[in-house]
Amino acid sequence: MKKRVILFCLCFTSVYFSTCTKDKGKRDITGSGFPQAVGQIILNKCTTSGCHNDISKGAAGGLSLTSWDKMFEGSRAGSVVIPFRADYSTLIYYTNSYNEFGTLQLTPKMPVNSEALSYQEMKIIYQWVQNGAPNANGIVKFADNPNRKKFYVSNQGCDLVTTFDAQTMLAMRATDVGKGNNIESPHFIKVSPDNQYWYVSFLNANVFQKYRVLDNSFVSEVNIGYGSWNTFVLSSDGKYAFCVDWESNGKVKKIQTDSMIVKNTIGGLNWSHGSALNQTNDTLYVTSQISNYIFKIPTDFSTADLIVLDNSGSPLPSSIYDPHEIIFSPDYSRYFVSCQKSNEVRVMNKKTDQLITAIPVGDFPQEMAIASSKNLLFVSCMEDVTTFGSTKRGSVYVINLTNNAVVAKVYTGHQPHGLMVDELNGKVYVTNRNVLSGGPAPHHASACNGKNGYVTAIDLNTLQLVPGYKAEVSVDPYGYSITH
C-alpha cells in the first residue's frame, strides 16, 4: 500500500456531531442489522439521546446509526463507512484514539461528552470495517449486485479511485492505484465498452493500469515510459487504448488492452492533451493545448495532420484558443472542442474539418459530456469567476445540440471538472476539485496531503443541482468514468 501523509486535522463543532448523553442500561440490538458485538457498541455509545438516532440526526450531520441500513444511508457529507477501508471511513476517524488503528484521529471525539471507546471496542469496530462491515447475516453492503451501475472518481492527490453506487450516489469502495510510494496522480479513468474493466493513466508514473469492474481487483499494467499521461480514449470494441502524453514534445501510445503491450508510438506533438476517435475507429483526434489547432492522426500513426480551429489555415503553436478536450456528437457529424484560453466551445464539421460556430461559455472550459436522450452537451468551466461572481469559482454550461444555444448555467461547486451522464437515473455527476483557496472547508481532514474535493449532481430533467447532495471524496477528484 502507498505511504500516506496527513496534512491537517479539523476541529469540528457540533454542526456534525451534537452533544450526546448516555442512556442507562444496554440496548436490545435485535432488528438493527448490526452484528452482536458491533451493535452493542454503536447502539449504546452512538445513538443515545441527542446523537445519531432518527430523532436527532438533523443536528448530527444527518447521520443515523440506529441500524446497519441507516448507517449505509450516510450523512450529509456522504458515506461514513467504506467497506474494507477503515482508512477512508469517517466512522473510524471520529471514534479512534489509538495509532494502531490509524493516525487520522479527528475531533470532537465520539462519543461526545463520554469516555472514548476502549481499545477493545475500537478493535472490534476497526476489524469489522476492514472485513467489509457486514450485517448480522454476513452481507456486505453493495455486494449483492456486482453489475450495478457505478461511477468512478480518481483522486490524483491520493493515488486513489473511489467507486460510487449510481442509484444511491454513495461511495461504496476505495481502491489504491499506481505502484510506487510517491504520489503518481491518477489523472484519467475510463470503463471499457463491455463494462468488464476500467483503466487509469497517471501524471507521474510510467504505467498504464487495468482493473476489473466486478471487484476493482488489479488485472495488469504496461510500462509506457515516464510522461505526463493525461487522457486516453478506448476503441469502441475495447481492444485498443490511445494514451496521450502532455508535454511540449508530446506523444501518443497505442496499447493493445488484452495483452497490455504497446503496439505503436507517435511523437512530436505540441502539448498533446484531449483525445477522441471517429466512428470507424480509424482516426484519432488529439488537441494541442497551447495552440489554435488539433491533430488528426490515422490510428496506424502514419502521419499527423493539423486542423486549425478558426478556418484560417494558419496553425500557430502559441497560446490562442488552447483546445483542451474533444468530443463527438452522437451521430458523429460534428465534434466539439473546449478552448480554455478563449472560453469557447468550438463546433467543427467532421466531414470538412471546418468551423461551424464558436459558443461562448464560462472561464476555462475543460471537460464535456453528452446526454443523448436530452440532446444536451454539458461543459465544465473550472475557473469561471464571471458567470456567478468572484465568490463562486466554476460553472457547468448546458448547450442544446440542435441549435448550439446555451440553455442553462449551473453552479455545482468549487472548480468543477469531471462530468458523467447517467441517463438511467437522470443525473449528471460532477467532480469538484476544490484545490484552490476560496472553496468550502472539507468536512474532515484528508488521509493524504491536500484538501478533499466533492461530488455533486445535476438533475437531467430540471437542469438544476440535486438538492442536499454533496459527497466528499479524497484529494483532487479529477478523473471520472461511468459504466455503460
Phi, psi torsion values for 93, nearest 5 degrees = -55, -40
pLDDT above 70 as % of the chain: 94
Report yes or no on 478 lying in a domain. no
**CA distances in angstroms from 291 to 185, 294, 319, 336, 353, listed in the order given:** 25, 8, 5, 16, 17
CA nearest 253: which of 269, 266, 237, 234?
A: 266
Q: What is the pLDDT of residues 297-334, one digit of tens each?
A: 999 999 999 999 999 999 999 999 999 999 999 999 99
Report yes or no on 282 lying in a domain. no
DSSP notation for 41-104: HHHHHTSSTTSSSTTTGGGTTT---SSHHHHTT-BTTB-S--TT-GGG-HHHHTT---GGG-S-
* Those residues with Cβ within 8 angstroms of residue 154's Cβ, 6 or more apart along the chain or in another chain: 160, 161, 162, 177, 186, 187, 188, 189, 200, 477, 478, 479, 480
pLDDT band at 26 (very low <50, low <70, confident <90, very high): low
Whether 358 shows a pLDDT value over 90: the answer reads yes
- Of the two residues 61 and 198, the one the predictor is more confident about is 198
The residue type found at 245 is D
Between CA 55 and CA 67 the distance in angstroms is 13
Predicted pLDDT at 113: 81
Which grid coordinates belong to 251? 506523444
CB atoms within 10 A of CB 5: 11
pLDDT band at 59 (very low <50, low <70, confident <90, very high): confident
Report yes or no on 202 lying in a domain. no
Whether 172 shows a pLDDT value over 70: the answer reads yes
Report yes or no on 111 lying in a domain. yes
Between CA 298 and CA 311 the distance in angstroms is 21
**Residue corresponding to grid cell 476505495:** 174
Whether 181 shows a pLDDT value over 90: the answer reads no
Q: What is the pLDDT of residues 78-137, one digit of tens each?
A: 999 999 999 999 999 999 999 999 989 998 888 888 899 999 999 999 999 999 999 999
Average pLDDT over residues 424-443: 95
Predicted pLDDT at 9: 32
Q: Which of 17-21, 187-191, 199-203, 242-246 has the lowest mean pLDDT?
A: 17-21
DSSP notation for 248-284: TTEEEEEEETTTTEEEEEEEEETTEEEEEE-TTSSEE
Report yes or no on 415 lying in a domain. no
Dihedral sign, Cα of residue 81, residue 43, residue 103, residue 16:
positive
β-sheet with 261-269: strand ranges across: 229-234, 240-245, 250-256, 261-269
Q: What is the pLDDT of residues 364-419, one digit of tens each?
A: 999 999 999 999 999 999 999 999 999 999 999 999 999 999 999 999 999 999 99
Between CA 429 and CA 162 the distance in angstroms is 14
Rg of the chain (C-alpha set): 24
CA nearest 426: which of 464, 459, 380?
A: 459
**CA distances in angstroms from 256 to 27, 241, 242, 263, listed in the order given:** 58, 7, 9, 6
Between CA 152 and CA 142 the distance in angstroms is 15
Report yes or no on 83 lying in a domain. yes
User: C-alpha angle with apex 155: 193 to 408, nearest 5 degrees?
Assistant: 70
Report yes or no on 17 lying in a domain. yes
Q: What is the mean pLDDT of the chain?
A: 93
**On the CB side of 167, how many CA atoms lie within 13 Å of its CA?**
7
The residue range of the domain holding 8 is 1-141
Report yes or no on 23 lying in a domain. yes
**CA distances in angstroms from 265 to 252, 253, 374, listed in the order given:** 6, 5, 38
Whether 21 shows a pLDDT value over 70: the answer reads no
Between CA 12 and CA 141 the distance in angstroms is 28
Predicted pLDDT at 85: 97
SS3 label, residue 13: coil
Predicted pLDDT at 78: 95
- Of the two residues 470 and 30, the one the predictor is more confident about is 470
Predicted pLDDT at 15: 33
The count of structural domains within the chain is: 1
Between CA 483 and CA 191 the distance in angstroms is 6
Burial string for 232-242 (b: 16+ CB within 10 Å, else e) reads bbbbeebebbb
